[in-house]
Structure 1
Amino acid sequence: MGRPALYDLLLKQVPPEKVHFGKRVTIIIDDGERVQAMAEDGSSFEGDILVGADGAYSTVRQQLYKTLLKEKKLPESDKEELPFSCICLVGQTTALDHEEFPILKEPSAQLMGTIGKDNPFSYLLFTTAPSSISWMTMLHLDKVANKSTYKSQEQDREDANLEWGPHAAKAMCDETRRFPLPIGDGTLTMGDMYDRTPQDLISKVMLEEKVFETWYSGRTVLLGDACHKLHPSGGRGSFLPMN
């Protein structure tokens, strides 16, 4: 399902007064009995436990690790930047015609993966309930990188591909749109997926992979990508090599 639909579903289960938007945690105070999270705008929230479920570059984790570093309790591996070896484009098309894309008629979700031949790309398609196709196009780097080293490793590629945002996503789309799809009448390419996806909903992201040693301390605990960022292809089966 699309992420916006999932957000709406989750929000309906939580009383509106319990949800606060536009808050960025900057300080965590743990006195042993209670924990307080202070936001950038001066507001603060107090409770028995603080759960940091705020993604790979978790602010809660960074604040927690600062405290542990001062106390000399942070393992060496937790001081390192998040490594990644893949750059990824992701998107989801609008509703598609079942006659043009017969694979959407299948009663269960279909997952198709392709590894590029003589190029450093692979790409995924998977059908969704709203008659759309979600897709991923992955660029596999020669070396493991992090935010600090990526640009120096990729200096021979176009500058537009080194940045993030709509312009960088378009540059990678242009580079990969000719890739053939294993569906339809044999003439479809990844460009057909890009053209059927709202341009502002195409994202270019890094696929980091790291499991942190420290998942909790005191009354703060980390959840999800904040403590174990895994590559999305970790549980995937085999690919079909294509030109």
Structure 2
Amino acid sequence: MTDSNPKPQPVVFIIGAGLSGLLLAALLEKTHIPYRVFERASTVKPLGSVLSLSPPILRALDQLGLMDELKKISMPCAELTIVDANLKTIGVVSPGKNDKAISGYDSITFARPDLYDLMLRQVPAENITFGKKVLKVTEEDDKVTIHLSDNTAYECDILVGADGSYSAVRQSMYRVMSDLGTLPKADGEELVAGYSMTVGTTQPLDPEKYPQLKDNSCHFVSVIGGDRYSYNCIIVPGQRVCWSLSIQFESPEESRKELFRNSEWKSDQINPMTDVFSSFPSPYGGKMGDLIEATPKELISRVYSEYKMFKTWFHGRSVLIGDACHKMLPAAGQGAVNAMQDSVILANCLYDIEDNTQKSITEAFQSYYDQRYELAKAAYDMSGMLAKITKGQKWHERLVRTFMFNLPESIQAASQAKRCMYRPQATFLPIVPLRGTGAVLPQPPSKRYQREQEVLQKKSDTDIVAV
């Protein structure tokens, strides 16, 4: 992009090379805003299980020209079958049944490592620095300094915390606000874990042993096994199966006793949960132990499934995206979709910043917050509801599941249409034409982009006259 009246661009540091951090970096790459990504892990490991993306983020990824590659690594996923411990069907949830008709995009599922690899390729390698853990953040009137574990320090104009549930950027930001007496009490409270989970993705399997692999369908099955146990199996491209094992915590107190261990992906501590679940029946035939054995041990990881909606998303020159400001329970990809939507809207707001003053930066952050908070809060509530439907085993969660399975189809269709209305995209890139029959919520236009297009049009008209 070329601006008719160029001003100094803010230097942006992104802490965390997860999906939201990488998408923000890929978008900033299109704006020519100088940026750099810092990731505390020294290497990228292909950890994780299944991930779903729905139309509310696919339009923005389409803008980046990624749809063809996304289709290669994914499968459409219109429904989820929920069964009991004996694999008897309890009900079917169809959140993506009419997605393509409404929005022009199918909801899709893939192995999380495959999507991560694709997003990593969108960012030049020289713009990502691995093995850099943030220990402290200090801020002056016109600069932010990050202090790293290798005794180095770097300065920037804007700091983005895309570093997950236990965000170092958020913790530093909240300490400052707590000292000032401006931090809301709820933001100082700990996260709560709903489940302890172990996840993995198998190596390619034999389609003769698992005939479901021959179908062009994800065969997404959630097993509610009783006694707090539940597990999911989903077929993904490459004749592989993504699986996850869950044990539900009985209370917030129980979860807090567990959380001190760590909440991040781990590959060096194989969870004894795999032994517990090995004898359970697989929805594709055989036992879960067969799928666990077909998964390399170094690629099996453990995570606590936590949840918390933070009220404060920015302060000074620091701003949060993704799990750092709204950690959602894993359900229908709500966490990933909303984290990536944060990246799209924040990129739009950063693009329109007038200058590097604190006033302009605060206005940009406030615009980002105003556009995202209520929508993210609604998705946070929805993720909690979907988690109850797909794996909750408390009496009131069973009631919710029964209620949802008996909703009239018209109500479900209206809810789906409403979910697909919010399809934000980058306002500084050519707009992807509307597809499908569903309405779309309007977005604030980019004034800077409009100015640039006017300049280009005038130049084009002048060139034509000259010829």
Same fold (TM over 0.5): yes
Is 1:222 aligned with 2:320? yes
Contact 1:215 1:222 in 2 (8 A): yes
| Distance change (3 Å), C-alpha of 1:145 and 1:53 | farther
Structure 1: 4+ residue segments shifted above 6 A: none
Contact 2:233 2:283 in 1 (8 A): no
Is 1:120 aligned with 2:228? yes
2:311 aligned partner, one-letter code? E
Q: CA RMSD in A?
A: 2.5
**Greater shift after overlay, 48-57 or 1-10?**
1-10
Q: Which of 141, 159, 175 is the equivalent residue of 2:249?
A: 141
Q: Distance in 2 between matches of 1:35 and 1:167?
A: 36
Q: Distance in 2 between matches of 1:174 and 1:237?
A: 25
Q: Which structure has the highest helix share of the two?
A: 2
Q: Which of 325, 329, 347 is the equivalent residue of 1:231?
A: 329
- What residue in structure 2 maps to residue 160 of structure 1? none
Is 1:82 aligned with 2:191? yes
Is 1:206 aligned with 2:307? no
| Distance change (3 Å), C-alpha of 1:182 and 1:111 | same
Is 1:96 aligned with 2:205? yes
Q: Which of 240, 247, 250 is the equivalent residue of 1:132?
A: 240
Q: Which of 270, 275, 281 is the equivalent residue of 1:174?
A: 275
Q: Distance in 1 between matches of 2:162 and 2:245?
A: 26
**C-alpha deviation, 1:135, in angstroms:** 0.6
Aligned pairs, number: 225
- What residue in structure 1 maps to residue 284 of structure 2? 183
Name the SS of the counterpart of 2:243 in structure 1: strand
Normalising by structure 2, what TM-score? 0.45
Q: Distance in 2 between matches of 1:38 and 1:227?
A: 22
In the alignment, structure 2 segments of 5+ residues that lack a partner are 1-109, 261-265, 332-382, 392-467
Provide Cα deviations, 1:119-171, integer angstroms capped at 9, x if missing partner: 2101111111121010111001211247652389xxxxxxxxxxx765551x1
Provide Cα deviations, 1:11-41, integer angstroms capped at 9, x if missing partner: 3222222111111112222223232222121
Name the SS of the counterpart of 1:87 in structure 2: strand
Q: Distance in 2 between matches of 1:80 and 1:198?
A: 37
Q: Distance in 1 between matches of 2:136 and 2:282?
A: 48
Q: Distance in 1 between matches of 2:123 and 2:146?
A: 20
Identity between Structure 1 and Structure 2 (%): 38
2:225 aligned partner, one-letter code? G
Name the SS of the counterpart of 2:129 in structure 1: coil
1:216 aligned partner, one-letter code? F
| Distance change (3 Å), C-alpha of 1:146 and 1:214 | farther
Q: Which structure has the highest strand share of the two?
A: 1
- What residue in structure 1 maps to residue 146 of structure 2? 37
Q: Distance in 1 between matches of 2:387 and 2:210?
A: 23
Normalising by structure 1, what TM-score? 0.83
Higher relative contact order (CA 8 A, sep 6+): 1
Name the SS of the counterpart of 1:20 in structure 2: strand
Contact 1:78 1:214 in 2 (8 A): yes
In the alignment, structure 1 segments of 5+ residues that lack a partner are 153-163
Name the SS of the counterpart of 1:209 in structure 2: strand
**C-alpha deviation, 1:44, in angstroms:** 2.2
- Give the greater-gyration-radius structure (CA): 2
Contact 1:81 1:146 in 2 (8 A): no
- What residue in structure 1 maps to residue 345 of structure 2? none
Q: Distance in 1 between matches of 2:245 and 2:236?
A: 17
Q: Distance in 2 between matches of 1:96 and 1:12?
A: 27
